[in-house]
Structures are given as structure tokens and as C-alpha cells.
Amino acid sequence: MFTGIIETIGSIRCVTRGNKSATIGIVLSTKDFPVAIGGSVACDGVCLTLESVADNVVYFTAVAETLERTTLGKKRIGDKVNIERALAVNGRLDGHFVLGHVDAVGTIVADRTVGDSTVRSIRFPKELARYFAEKGSVAIDGISLTIAAVASDVLDVSLIPFTFKETTMAAKHFGELVNLECDVIARYLERLITFRGTSPAEGAGPNGSSLFDKMERLGF
């Protein structure tokens, strides 16, 4: 579990391709980054397991599913990535609940300046539209951001100067790809409302109905 508050930026030192996998070495911009071997780290919003550390380079393995469904499969030496450690139980939740499970890759389609901020428009697969809401949360390359506006397949987020300074957003431009993770609460809410099982034990109503069906029967 993460919060989408980026702690540091890393630079990819090496990418070693394996059998449908890749070992990625990342140089951290800070030496004060205590993570135990086997711990979880979000790299551009992708939850990876720390496997080893050598000379301030941290190493992770990304499997085929991760390489295919996120931007990590396209990373090259020198690329920058956002880094965040897993949330401590006694830590502050300054962003929102981020799992590090990327839902899709989006494309930056426009930037416009509004005062001191930049409004960035990102195109996403249309099937994800139901999970995005104005003033709701989204994780973009692991950064917890508030959705300023959303259409059928494009959402807008407002980036303040601090976000540009402390994350990789300043290095991203028109046409570049970003990792998107929907708010997990929206996903579970959809599942709860629409799931139709065959028995109460499977999580549905007494007749295998959804929550909406039950509410309709009760007159809502």
C-alpha cells in the first residue's frame, strides 16, 4: 500500500532482459532510503519487490505482465522514475490509497498554463471512464493527483510547481506515456453494486441479485 506522495526520483542504471522478465537497476537520488530486502517499492506507480542493493543502486525484477501493462517495459537507461516506499502502519496518508497495481497506460495529449499551475490532459482507455470522477483521485506514474475534469476518454489534472520539481512530471511531454491507477475504492464499489452471484454465499442478494436490484425492490 502506498499514498502517491513521491519520496525521491531514481534514474535507471541498467535493464537486463531475461526470459519474459527484466531486472531493473535504479540509482536513487538519496542515500537515506531504508528499505529491507523483500520490501515493496513503487517505481512510477508500479509495486515491485526490492531484491538487492549495491552502491546506492536498487534492483527489482519486473515480470511479463508488468512489462506489458505498464511503461516499465519501455524504460531505457537514463530514464527517471518516481520512487515511494510502502506506507508504514503509523504513517500519514497525505495522498490516497495507492496499491501499485497499474490499470492502464495513458497518453499525454495537452498541457496548458493556468496561473502558476499546468493543467495536463491525459487520454485513457474508455473502459476506465467509470472509475474517474471530477474531484476524485487518480495515481499517475505513482503520483496522487486530483482529477480537475473528465470526459469520455480524457482527464485533466492540475500540476503545481512543487509537483514538477519533486517528481518526473517536468520531464514528460506531449505524446509520452504514463501509468494510471484508478482509485481502488471506486473499483470495489462497482464490484459490490454490480456483482451477481448464484447464492448469498457468493456475495449477492437472496435471488442472486445485485445491490441495485435489491434497492429497486425496496422502492429506492
- Choosing from 21, 29, 40, 209, the catalytic residue is 40
Does the active-site annotation cover 173?
Answer: no
Does the active-site annotation cover 11?
Answer: no
- Choosing from 22, 42, 47, 62, the catalytic residue is 47
How far apart (Å, rounded) are the C-alpha atoms in residues 89 and 48?
Answer: 19
Does the active-site annotation cover 101?
Answer: yes
Does the active-site annotation cover 162?
Answer: no
Does the active-site annotation cover 71?
Answer: no
- Choosing from 2, 60, 124, 132, the catalytic residue is 2
Neighbours of 135 (CB within 10 A): 9
- Choosing from 14, 30, 64, 110, the catalytic residue is 64
- Choosing from 30, 146, 194, 199, the catalytic residue is 146
- Choosing from 16, 49, 52, 199, the catalytic residue is 49
- Choosing from 11, 21, 61, 101, the catalytic residue is 101
Does the active-site annotation cover 96?
Answer: no
Does the active-site annotation cover 212?
Answer: no
Distances (CA, A) of 144 to 20, 61, 128, 140: 30, 24, 17, 7
Looking at the annotation, which residues are catalytic?
Answer: 2, 40, 47, 49, 64, 101, 146
